[in-house]
Amino acid sequence: MCDLSHPFRAFPALAVKHDDRTALQSLRYREPDLVGLIDGMAPDEYTELAVLGIHHGGENLGVGSALVVTNSRRGSESNLYGRVDLIIVDPAFRGMGLGRAVILCLLLHMLKTHGSRLYSISSLAAHGAVAKVLEDLGFQRGNREAKNFVTESLALEAGDHDAVIDICLGELESVLQLINFRLRQRKTPS
């Protein structure tokens, strides 16, 4: 498990929780139409399933899942690809940047855990907000669009991993500051 606590240290009420399957089930119950890759894949079909949640004072605000899969047809050491799967934010906390924070945490987790073995990260973005975040981070829109989904991908070359980690960390620190500010505004009476 990779440590993602550093960006959260400045905001003690905010925390990232690893293997947050309870939060995923809870928020997913509210979004019954969401379909993820984890629904159709058996555990032996992927190398890792990461489920990360963001909490504030113990309350679950948002959660996401990502899969890392081995490409056995790729004849090199970099034979893993990552897929950002589900991103769910509690409706009461949408518009605060939590989806962006969850995506960044998932990307950091995959990059830090699997390093140079990861040759690509992609997503089938069902929400325009997810596609926007990925495009902001340098992901490229695919040339085919499935029904209700947009493909986004980031090809990783040797040496790119550290640069992408630095970009994601900088973005995460900024978005956590914004989330913290917005959460504090909600608690402050007008």
The pLDDT tens digits for 65-115 are 999 999 988 888 889 999 998 999 999 999 999 999 999 999 999 999 998
22 is a domain residue: yes
Q: What is the pTM of this model?
A: 0.91
Percent of the chain at pLDDT > 90 equals: 49
163 is a domain residue: yes
More confident residue, 79 or 143: 79
The pLDDT tens digits for 154-168 are 888 777 888 899 999
CATH number of residue 14's parent domain:
3.40.630.30
**Structural domain total, the chain:** 1
Domain that holds residue 166: 6-187
Q: Which of 35, 97, 109 shows the shortest CA–CA distance to 67? A: 109
Non-local (6+) Cβ contacts of 104 within 8 A are 137, 168, 171, 172, 175
1 is a domain residue: no
162 is a domain residue: yes
pLDDT of residue 40: 78
Q: Which of 87, 98, 86 shows the shortest CA–CA distance to 175? A: 98
pLDDT at 187 over 80: no
